[in-house]
Amino acid sequence: MNILLVEDETDLQFVIRIALESAGLTVITASNSLEALEYLAHNAVDLLLVDVLMPGMNGLELCEQLQQHPVWQHIPVILLTASSQTSILPAELPPVVRMCVNKPFDVFTLVDQVQAFLTDSRREGPPAHGSAGAC
């Protein structure tokens, strides 16, 4: 499984990447939304982990771009959100968003959540929109 991790904090990006790779997953990193879109223009991924607060195009704006693209709109997204952010209601989320994980988080719990999500997605197909809960 190929995961595109879009996170502007380099230390956090490194820790998440190492943890996911240690679990046997392939992780590609992007430091911002534009890098992510450039990568997606030439490569396929199975899942995106996207930070919400990033300079330039934020994570929600990236999700809106994904939703408008005929191929990318089928790629599930797990949002990484700072707990101090204003709560985002499920109705406000683009349908590509399937789950939200609040920062700070335990990286091993994140790995478990990603693996469970990927297992469920393979077994049942994409989850229905609205299963993410509030971010």
Determine the Cα–Cα distance for residues 17 and 28; give it in Å rounded to an integer. Answer: 8
Q: What digits encode the pLDDT tens for the residues 64-101?
A: 999 999 999 999 999 998 855 556 656 678 888 988 89
Q: What is the pTM of this model?
A: 0.87
Q: What digits encode the pLDDT tens for the residues 95-131?
A: 889 888 988 899 999 999 999 989 887 645 444 443 4
Determine the Cα–Cα distance for residues 10 and 105; give it in Å rounded to an integer. Answer: 16
Its CATH class, for the domain covering 2-124, is alpha beta
* Lookup: tokens for 70: 């005929």
